[in-house]
Amino acid sequence: MIQNHEIDYRIIGEEMQYVEVELDPNETAVAEPGAFMMMEDGINMQTIFGDGSNQNNGLLGKLFSAGKRMLVGENLFMTAYTNVSVGKKHVSFAAPYPGKIIPLDLYRLGNKVICQKDAFLCAAKGVSIGIEFQRKLGTGLFGGEGFIMEKLEGDGMAFVHACGHVEQKELELGELLKIDTGCIVGFTATVQYDIQFVGGIKNTLFGGEGVFFATLRGPGIVWIQTLPISRLASRILQYATFKRKEEGSVLGGLSNMLDGDGW
């Protein structure tokens, strides 16, 4: 039996996407603060404590849920958007950086998807947003970005965002995929997640890809992003703080003029 609100949607855009959610009368969508883009008249906004799911009834349950959400980089509060009119209404939520919005039908995905921290964008009311600790010791010690992850549970629609291009792969039983921990967007609960040592002295010292990578073993579905936001941020920071070699030379001055820095 479906417990979450059933919502229709469409994803608009290419590199800077947003999702438009269609709400029937009395239907509600919940979203992270700051995700709101626009809505039609007849939709009521209300700030709620926690994720609005039925799994966290009572004050203690809501406090526990909020604490778990803080550990995965989400906010204590969420915003609920409810259609209080008599006809269909639309509300839209935008991704915070260039990339893709991924729709997740939790009912068809085994009622649970594990994803990277801070990936959640919005969902039908009733979807629970919590924390997923990886249980294996090696994952806990060396997992880095992949140790504490976010879990989405329920039987409604949820939407997550990722940076760059997103590839969906379906792993067969026993099929193994080795991947950078930052490139994992999410995977279904049937996928086994672990950390593996790269191996080799030259790989470790000069490989430039880290000492460990993640392993995902099927069966299940995996979503992979080409550009982790942490990698993008580090490149921008490097460019902003790095003094170019040609600066101070005639060639450097001409380059800066072409860049717009000399005007």
Secondary structure of 56-124 in the HEC alphabet? Answer: CCHHHHHHHHHHHHHHCCCCCEEEEEEECCCCCEEEEEECCCCEEEEEEECCCCCCEEEECCCCEEEEE
Task: Output 83 or 73, whichever has higher pLDDT.
Answer: 83
Task: Output 86 or 68, whichever has higher pLDDT.
Answer: 86
Query: Is residue 241 in a domain?
Result: no
Mean pLDDT, rounded, for 95-118: 92
Query: Is residue 128 in a domain?
Result: yes
Q: How far apart are CA 169 and CA 227, in angstroms?
A: 17
Task: Output 45 or 133, whichever has higher pLDDT.
Answer: 45
Q: How high is the pLDDT of residue 12?
A: 94
Q: How high is the pLDDT of residue 208?
A: 47
Task: Output 61 or 89, whichever has higher pLDDT.
Answer: 89
CATH code for the domain of 35:
3.60.160.10
Task: Output 59 or 167, whichever has higher pLDDT.
Answer: 167
192-234 pLDDT, tens digit per residue, is 988 777 655 554 444 444 567 888 999 999 999 998 877 777 7
Query: Is residue 101 in a domain?
Result: yes
- Asked if the model's pLDDT at residue 120 lies above 70, the reply is yes
Q: How high is the pLDDT of residue 73?
A: 55
Number of domains in the chain: 1
Q: How high is the pLDDT of residue 83?
A: 96
Query: Is residue 3 in a domain?
Result: no
39-50 pLDDT, tens digit per residue, is 999 999 998 877
Q: How high is the pLDDT of residue 227?
A: 86
Q: How high is the pLDDT of residue 262?
A: 45
Q: How high is the pLDDT of residue 137?
A: 45
Query: Is residue 21 in a domain?
Result: yes
Q: Which domain holds residue 135?
A: 8-227
Task: Output 79 or 232, whichever has higher pLDDT.
Answer: 79
In terms of average pLDDT, the best of 84-88, 147-151, 256-260 is: 84-88
Mean pLDDT, rounded, for 129-158: 69
Q: For residue 31, what are the CA distances in angstroms to 122, 196, 234?
A: 4, 35, 27
Query: Is residue 263 in a domain?
Result: no
- Asked if the model's pLDDT at residue 141 lies above 50, the reply is no
57 falls in which pLDDT band (50, 70, 90)? low
Q: How high is the pLDDT of residue 181?
A: 81
Return all residues near 250 (Cβ < 8 A) that are at least 6 apart: none
Under 8 Å between Cβ of 77 and 154: no
Query: Is residue 72 in a domain?
Result: yes
Q: How high is the pLDDT of residue 258?
A: 47
Query: Is residue 235 in a domain?
Result: no
Read off the pTM. Answer: 0.78
256 falls in which pLDDT band (50, 70, 90)? low
Nearest to 160 by CA among 197, 207, 127: 127
Mean pLDDT, rounded, for 157-162: 94
Only one residue has tokens 């000492």, namely 211
